[in-house]
Structure 1
Amino acid sequence: MSDNDTPAALGAVHRRRLREVWRSAGWPSQDLVEVELLAAGWLERVEQADGRHTVRVTPQGVQVLAQTLQRHRGAYAAHESLVQRVADEMLRHGRLAWRGLSLRCKPLADGPWVMAMPDVYSVRHTTVEAYLAPVVHEVKVRRADLLADLNRPAKRAAYLQLGGECWYVLAEGIADPAEVPAECGVMLARPLPDGGWGALDIVRTAPRRAFAMHFGLWMALARATPLPGWRPDDDQPALSACDDA
């Protein structure tokens, strides 16, 4: 079954239910999502010896699961590749950079503490606290992921609490840069034929704000290991603008 054969009404919720049935004993939910999956031929009803009915994924449904898995793996690989591309660029500019940090912050004065996980977090390589200029980079390679992020203002507020600048790095073609709120900068990443990423084009510079690193952030960085520094033999195209983004 190809994507062109997918019933128009079936989407992410149906694929999620299909995965749940695949991992379960097949007890029916008997709701409209299940009705649509049965009608599409992705599920089938099975009568047990005691007369009860269960549902199971059909061969057609297995193909849908396999295709979904391949797409997710491809998107994950592209995302991780672009995250490393951004981190390498920060290292190239002489900054200390981290990937996969879990940082505790309080985005709203009267709100709860939350854990934020920026794709790339970097600071200047300096011994002067006032010159650290911490920066957050959030990477998006799929439009659906970007829209989900933009619909979570608390997440963006958390990033703004962790650095003096916040950037969205977008795969070229997934969005109009104007869709990203004005408090964040925007870079566009050009995909290469070999699956890598080329130049990072700065289309809107992130506003720079005065920022003092709080004690909890200092401790998180002290416990984490920054990425290995850039070597002179590295061969990556540089930022197309703004030497200290």
Structure 2
Amino acid sequence: MSTPPAPLLRRMHRTRLMQLWRSAGWPCRDAIEVDLLAWGLVQLQCSDAGHETLRLTSTGLERLAEARQGNMRAQSRHDRLADRVARELLAGGRVVWRELTLRAPVDLPADPSDAAPTAFVLNEATPAGLWGPGELPEAPAVNRPAAWRLARMDVFSVRHTTVEAYLQPAVHEIKVSRADLFSDLRHPTKRQAYEALCSECWYVFPAGMAEPREIPVEWGIWVVHSGEGVDDGRVELVRPARHQPCRLPFPVWMALARSNPFAPDRREVQPLLADLHDQDGTDVEEARDARLDGARGC
């Protein structure tokens, strides 16, 4: 029977191939594995003890590598730099979110009609005897409506701590073009929305794209010295950000609870069960059962 050609792998198929590659290959026996078996991307193996496992074939490895390379090429320079910054913050002991959207209060532009409210003046039309000397009522206060803005942050992070006062929420805005940077600088309400939700705000951009004097003094600056790209360039702190106390409101905590923190793919540090047998031929499942029996006191 000829093997049908494998179509373009969907995300769920790529995820399952990576999971099988990173594990001992225990099957789930679902529809995804039926597709992978039919396409010849995995094969079913059976040990002497009757334990079935799934192994990637050479075709499966090639398709998985092609999918990952295509995904890396599709990732923009902006996304790569944002991931680089997120990894730096994660290594520094912070909890990080990427592309987080939060609602922040901002000040409305001043309205000329609100600048000088009309004062109450006693005139001929005012009934006599209502107010004595010096008892004129004050002019009514003008209540300007509250303005809200959705702030989509490239990188949002807080310190990994159990004390709320030590959270120090921070926003890092990633810019890879001068036009994008100065488009931000022309919109002060956007920066104000960021400042309302964090203690420190930073701009991160490649070295030589802008001068520190062109950036608002409240914002810190990171520059990336990239010879060939932004993935491995040296990160330099050019100017620290102004620190201000910030207590995250309850809606922000709800938004963080609904969002997934940034978690890079760390295959090199995750414990793997790549082989069914170890070097001396001991069955991995038998060793696991022996450890469980020992824990139960059998």
TM-score grouping bracket, smaller chain normalisation: 0.5 to 0.7
2:91 corresponding residue in structure 1: 92
Q: TM-score, normalised by structure 1?
A: 0.61
The answer to whether 1:166 aligns with 2:201 is yes
Cα shift at 1:178: 1.4
Residue identity opposite 1:183 in structure 2 = E
How high is the sequence identity, in percent, across the aligned residues? 45
Cα shift at 1:108: 2.0
Residue identity opposite 1:94 in structure 2 = G
Task: Answer whether contact 1:75 1:142 (CA < 8 A) is retained.
Answer: no
Structure 2 residue runs without a partner (length 5+): 1-72, 109-143, 270-298
Q: Secondary structure at the match of 1:141?
A: coil
Counterpart of 1:130 (choices 165, 180, 200) is 165
1:102 corresponding residue in structure 2: 101
Cα shift at 1:177: 1.6
Aligned mates of 1:124, 1:232 — CA distance in 2:
25
Corresponding pairs, count: 161
Q: Which runs of 4+ in 1 moved over 3 A?
A: 229-234
Aligned mates of 2:89, 2:267 — CA distance in 1:
14
The answer to whether 1:151 aligns with 2:177 is no
Q: Secondary structure at the match of 2:89?
A: helix
1:112 corresponding residue in structure 2: 147
Residue identity opposite 1:180 in structure 2 = I
- Map 1:33-44 onto structure 2 (within 5 A): none
Structure-2 change in CA distance of 1:96 and 1:200 (3 Å): same
RCO greater where, 1 or 2, for CA within 8 Å and sep 6 or more?
A: 2
The answer to whether 1:220 aligns with 2:255 is yes
Q: Secondary structure at the match of 1:118?
A: strand
2:23 corresponding residue in structure 1: none
Aligned mates of 1:193, 1:223 — CA distance in 2:
37
Task: Answer whether contact 2:81 2:230 (CA < 8 A) is retained.
Answer: no
Task: Answer whether contact 1:118 1:138 (CA < 8 A) is retained.
Answer: yes
Aligned mates of 1:192, 1:228 — CA distance in 2:
27
Structure 1 residues 190-199 or 178-187, which shifts more?
Answer: 190-199
Residue identity opposite 2:164 in structure 1 = E
Residue identity opposite 2:91 in structure 1 = R
Structure-2 change in CA distance of 1:163 and 1:195 (3 Å): closer
CA deviations 1:107-141 (Å, max 9, x no partner) are 22754111101100000111211111100000101
Cα shift at 1:190: 1.5
Residue identity opposite 1:149 in structure 2 = D
Q: Secondary structure at the match of 1:113?
A: strand
Structure-2 change in CA distance of 1:167 and 1:215 (3 Å): same
Residue identity opposite 1:220 in structure 2 = A
Aligned mates of 1:166, 1:79 — CA distance in 2:
18
Q: CA RMSD in A?
A: 2.4
Structure 1 residue runs without a partner (length 5+): 1-73, 235-245
CA deviations 1:35-71 (Å, max 9, x no partner) are xxxxxxxxxxxxxxxxxxxxxxxxxxxxxxxxxxxxx
Residue identity opposite 1:86 in structure 2 = V
CA deviations 1:189-240 (Å, max 9, x no partner) are 1223256241211110001111111111111111101012696968xxxxxx
Structure-2 change in CA distance of 1:232 and 1:164 (3 Å): farther
Structure-2 change in CA distance of 1:162 and 1:190 (3 Å): same
Residue identity opposite 2:195 in structure 1 = L
CA deviations 1:163-194 (Å, max 9, x no partner) are 00000001111111211101100111122325
Structure-2 change in CA distance of 1:203 and 1:232 (3 Å): farther
Task: Answer whether contact 1:186 1:202 (CA < 8 A) is retained.
Answer: yes
Aligned mates of 2:107, 2:195 — CA distance in 1:
11
Residue identity opposite 2:260 in structure 1 = T
Q: Which has the larger radius of gyration?
A: 2
Structure-2 change in CA distance of 1:76 and 1:108 (3 Å): farther
